[in-house]
Structure 1
Amino acid sequence: MDNHTRNTAPKSTVTINRKLIAAPTGNIYMAIEIIAKRAEQIQQELAEEYKEKSSGFHDLKEQLQETFENEELIDISRYYEKLPKPWALALQEWLEGKIAWKFEDDKQDKK
């Protein structure tokens, strides 16, 4: 996921013509399923990225007995809170044609 997608994805709900969403597959339900799977992947990527950035702070917190506010950790958390939601990022990638997908061969299952 690139920064361009993060910057251009809507941060709140927007109305999009369903024909634009369904156009690549010809089926709105299949398109939504693909977008949802990509949103799950994005959520996992963001969670891993957040863990990496905040892992040093958690080690420090375990070493200290006192609880205090760490401004850097708060800033990192605020950054991730302000990002568009994973579904919005996935939808933006879908509309820009950045998601690769393929149909599985149904003939193998119909033996």
Structure 2
Amino acid sequence: MDLKKTNAPVNTMTYDRNQIDEPTENIYEAISIISRRAEQINTEIKKELIDKLEEFATYNDSLEEIFENKEQIEVSKFYEKLPKPHALAVQEWLTDKIYFRNTEEDNQ
């Protein structure tokens, strides 16, 4: 996922309920799908952030010396400015980028 190219809002927005529940015709099912996708996005972002921060990590045995690592600070600031995972998930939902299926209907 390319986080720089996303057009999800950074601030809180109000969405039309009818747009959210249109694909499933059930608002609770739609919110459940969006929340699961938000959890996936959050896990991806967290893993990516930890990997990038470890590139710049300096390991010290001494507790007395603490250094500010400018690269780590810049990476952290970039990730703080990103839209939240739920905003990314809602944006994906509204643009039909989330695949979902109802397993109960598949079994019947």
TM-score, normalised on structure 1? Answer: 0.86
Kindly provide the CA deviation profile for residues 12-43 of structure 1, in whole angstroms up to 9, marking residues without a partner as x.
11111000000010111100000000000000
State the SS of the aligned residue for 1:63: coil
What does residue range 9-20 of structure 1 map to in structure 2 within 5 Å?
A: 9-20=8-19
Q: 1:2: which partner in 2?
A: 2
Q: Which runs of 4+ in 1 moved over 2 A?
A: 1-5, 105-108
Query: What residue in structure 2 maps to residue 83 of structure 1?
Result: 82
Alpha-carbon separation, structure 2, partners of 1:63 and 1:56? 15
Q: In the TM superposition, what are the counterparts of 1:32-111 in structure 2 within 5 Å?
A: 32-58=31-57, 60=58, 62-63=59-60, 65=62, 66-105=65-104
Structure 1: where are the runs of 5+ without partners? none
Unaligned runs of 5+ in 2: none
Identity of aligned residues (%): 48
Matched residue count: 105
User: Separation in 1 of the partners of 2:77 and 2:55?
Assistant: 17
Q: CA RMSD in A?
A: 1.7
TM-score (norm: length of structure 2): 0.89
SS at match of 1:44: helix
Q: Distance in 1 between matches of 2:30 and 2:106?
A: 21
SS in 2 for 1:53: helix
Higher helix share: 1
